[in-house]
Amino acid sequence: MQPHATPYEERLTAPRSWWLISFLVGFALALILLPFGTLPMLGGLAGGTAAAAVVASSYGSMRIRVVGDSLIAGEAKIPVSALGEAEILDPEEARAWRMHKADARAFMLLRAYIPTALKVEVTDPDDPTPYLYLSTREPERLADALKAARTAAA
């Protein structure tokens, strides 16, 4: 393995149904513009679909990566030395930690369309964040990558 290889990388892509919804947004805009003629209607179809697709794509562009001795989750970059134990959350537990168990101080990279998650304790005494909640389709792989990065950094 290369010394700077990425042991884990995941893009939290939007579900396929969102692309259908993007087309339906364009179709709705086309219907709204239908009284103004064919050209505005086609422009509404193309423009509405494109705008909705850009929103869906940008929302689904978040990434979680373990690179070297750091966890990069969205815009947050945390050294693995500041992280404690990782807890794999099944869909039921993940839902509970998104709702009534959630702490307002926690860092949450949350995507409700991803049912599973990983909860990682923050052990840095200078950081007021108690834990990271990371929506992930592969919580076991992410937990293993964090453990491997922590072992390599030690």
Write the CA distances from 105 to 40, 128, 133, 135, 143, integer angstroms: 47, 7, 11, 17, 22
pLDDT tens by residue, 14-57: 999 999 999 999 999 999 999 999 999 999 999 999 999 999 99
Residue with tokens 């869906």: 56
DSSP helix/strand/coil, 71: strand
Residue 4 scores a pLDDT above 60: no
Tokens encoding 11:
């893009």
CA pair distance 32, 50, nearest whole angstrom: 16
- Where in the chain are the domains? 13-59, 68-153
Residue 100 scores a pLDDT above 70: yes
Closest CA to 112 of 14, 9, 23, 10: 14
Q: Identify any residues that bridge with 50 across adjacent strands, giving them in sequence order.
A: none
Residue 109 scores a pLDDT above 60: yes
pLDDT band for position 1 (50/70/90)?
Answer: very low
CA pair distance 62, 54, nearest whole angstrom: 14
CA Rg value for the chain: 20
What does pLDDT average to over the chain?
A: 92
